[in-house]
Amino acid sequence: MAGAPSGVGSDGWLAGALRRPSPNCDERPPDTEVDLLVIHAISLPPGAFGGEGVERLFTNRLDPDAHPFFREIQGLQVSAHLFIRRDGTLYQFVPLHRRAWHAGASNFQGRERCNDFSVGIELEGTDEHPYTPAQYRRLGWTAARVMAACPGITRDRIAGHADIAPGRKTDPGPAFDWPRFRTELNGTV
């Protein structure tokens, strides 16, 4: 990981992100270059924004009695490196040099197990709800810093979850505006 110029410390934590360490991570395979950025969408309960569901899920503190849907995902151990709320607030759950558990069964350009070599960014949202201007701004800013810290991630190595797990995942969905994201990214790099 690069140091101060990227805004990512040698410990893999991004300056400006609220730290919420997740136990749902582990070491990447030895000598693995991080060279993929995966964009996801999540809301908990589904379609609800602003609550603590995602943070609680990624830190294994989700109360299964707080909502009927939470019973369905009880015991699920998942995480992402970063999470961007609708208002642009940025959370980090896993240091960039560690493997977060965000992609599941996945393949990028013939390479399996994308968690091994990727950084995952979750957006608070759904496939159908337009993402907010604050999210696009923060995503562009965040992606630029991740790319500086992980130079193997280039513009052509940014994918949606649906791209690496077709038929199994659909996020960030048709509501995600890829040209707008790329415009924000171009303005920060």
* Residue 29: pLDDT band with limits 50, 70, 90: very high
Q: Is the pTM of this model over 0.85?
A: yes
Q: Where are the beta strands (DSSP E) in 82-188?
A: 82-84, 90-92, 98-100, 107-108, 111-112, 118-124, 158-160
pLDDT at 2 over 80: no
The DSSP 8-state label assigned to residue 66 in this structure reads S
pLDDT tens track for 155-167: 999 999 999 999 9
Q: Is the pLDDT of residue 154 over 60?
A: yes
Domains in the chain, CATH or no CATH each: 4-188 (3.40.80.10)
Q: How far is CA 69 from the centre of its chain?
A: 22
Q: Report the pLDDT value the prediction gives residue 32, as an integer from 0 to 100.
A: 97
As a whole number, mean pLDDT of residues 131-139 equals 98
- Token output for 186: 């171009």
Percent of the chain residues past pLDDT 90, beyond the cut = 94
For 66-105, write each residue's pLDDT tens digit.
Answer: 999 999 999 999 999 999 999 999 999 999 999 999 999 9
pLDDT score, position 1: 43
Q: Known catalytic residues?
A: 122
What does pLDDT average to over the chain? 95
Q: pLDDT tens digits for 40-65?
A: 999 999 999 999 999 999 999 999 99
pLDDT on residue 31: 96
Residues 6+ apart with CB under 8 A from 166: none
